Amino acid sequence: MDNSPLQVLTVPTAPYPDQRPGTSGLKKKVYVFQSRRNYLHNFIQSIFSSIDLRDRQGSTVVVGGDGRFFNRTAIEVIVQMAAANGVGRMIIGHHGIMSTPAISCVIRKYKAIGGIILTASHNPGGPDGDFGIKFNTANGGPAKEAVTNKIFQLSRTIEEFAICPGMQVDLTTLGKQMFDLENKFKPFTVEIVDSVESYANLLRNIFDFAALKEILSGENHIKIRLDAMHGVVGPYVRRILCEELGCPTNSAVNCVPLEDFGGQHPDPNLTYAADLVDSMKEGQYDFGAAFDGDGDRNMILGKHGFFVAPPDSVAVIADNIFCIPYFQHTGVRGFARSMPTSAALDRVAKATKIELYETPTGWKFFGNLMDAGRLSLCGEESFGTGGDHIREKDGLWAVLAWLSILATRRQSVEDILKDHWLKYGRNYFTRYDYENVDIDAACEMMEDLEILIAGKSFVKQRFAVGDKIYQVEKADNFEYTDPVDSTISRNQGLRIIFSDGSRIIYRLSGTGSDGATVRIYIDSYEKEQIFEDTQVMLAPLATIALKISQLHHRTGRSGPSVIT
């Protein structure tokens, strides 16, 4: 066996113009990474080059992914390039698998300089699916815009990358592996860690596991159904909820991570988690939840498939926050939601006199508030909820938060939500997704729409549908000034706000890999009519949203791909 130091090479390359990270990193079809020469290498080098060499030398970097196709291939390249770029230690999840919340936890625990997360979130996997690379910084959260812009600029001018091609890492064996590199005084260390344990230990210090065990496996336990959708959360559900908290093994389904997610779309909503919805409708389970590919999103269901809309979910957790021991100790510093998310949380914040922040979409904005000690709980309408224990949204945390509320209140999910609406009124909320729309058509539509709503005559304009009349009170392109560092984020979504507080919002999403996704969000508050069907209640506003945008005509679509 050759024990000579491994060679470090500098390889010439040419830049690509399309490596701008979105809100969730760089996402492309797998074939893009496979077929374009050095496409992966260029982006990884740009990440390392964005970190000052003095900070990089001898530093620790965490790597893990959701197990999708191309995950192991990418990890091999990342390790080889990390060593060549002066990183001292890599911490990698066992078999290369680690959930996004767990990676955030491990970055913080080991004081790493950052982490590289290999996921395309809730997008499909497999050879014909999507692959993604996201860089999280030392706080455990997604890189801020200044960092991602720097990575993008470097990717456009890159001329070479550094790599140690002879390095072979065993992802299957827990423990340390040491490598000697030429011209390096210290060996490069790769540490393969248990993907679950650090994160599970964090949860033990947040929740009352004895109370959770009682409600899940005690004398008067509830029956639950959890669907990991063949994503990364499966091993976490098995270890934490089944083995530790006593849930029957058959209450957790699709718990083996698969490279193609079993051919399914690992997106926890009513459309793609239809199997869970159907099994909940049968009435034998009291509580149900689904998770996305990388474990940061969740969907909550009650008995008979009662759906908890994500904006309601974070509002209910906020109103019952002291059911979670962690917050009894830390107190509550603030609440936050993304701008498109309904204002249900605002009503809890007002009643409890706790500061409420409205941010653009993207967890990095929440992370900045958390780092400044201003924020404890936050949520996005896109099935993301989380606390300040890490700097990512956290699907399993949200499920344990709900189970903690059930354990304390001993009511059904439906009764808890209906009590909440009786107390605060109800924000009816829906989102229409038009996926894989022609990018040029989508951009032109948004540009024309912005010109329309910016016109002086648009404000005070009235729209009538049936017996409902809505008058425009305000219309703009949402702009956010961060209260911590005063950075300004512009062009975050077109808003039309009516005199009764109802809102229509239009956004182009940054989480797709193919074409554009146009999203329409509709939010309307009702104090009296709180037990009606969401789509029926919001139908007039949906009609207005389509009329104003002419979306169907402009995109050639007759209806949305997904309604949530």
121 flagged as catalytic? yes
The single-letter code of the amino acid at 524 is S
The Cα–Cα gap between 19 and 161 comes to 16
End-to-end CA distance of the chain: 58
Q: Name beta bridge partners: 437.
A: 516
The three-state DSSP-derived secondary structure of 207-218 is CCHHHHHHHHHC
Query: Which residues touch 433 (CB under 8 Å, ≥6 apart)?
Result: 509, 517, 518, 519, 560, 561, 562, 563, 564
C-alpha triplet 425, 431, 433: angle, nearest 5° = 175
> Which of 253, 336, 324 has the alpha carbon at shortest distance from 288?
253
The Cα–Cα gap between 375 and 484 comes to 11
Phi/psi at 341 (nearest 5 deg)? -70, 145
Query: Which residues touch 506 (CB under 8 Å, ≥6 apart)?
Result: 446, 449, 493, 494, 518, 519, 520, 521, 545, 549
Question: β-strands 356-359, 494-498: how paired?
Answer: unpaired
The Cα–Cα gap between 132 and 69 comes to 11
The Cα–Cα gap between 512 and 510 comes to 6
Using the Cα atoms of residue 60, residue 11, residue 154 and residue 15 in order, give the sign of their dihedral. negative
DSSP three-state, residue 135: strand
Given a contact cutoff of 8 angstroms between Cβ atoms, the answer to whether 512 and 487 are in contact is no
Marked catalytic residue, from 46, 104, 121, 382? 121
Q: Name beta bridge partners: 522.
A: 430, 504
Which amino acids are annotated catalytic?
Answer: 121
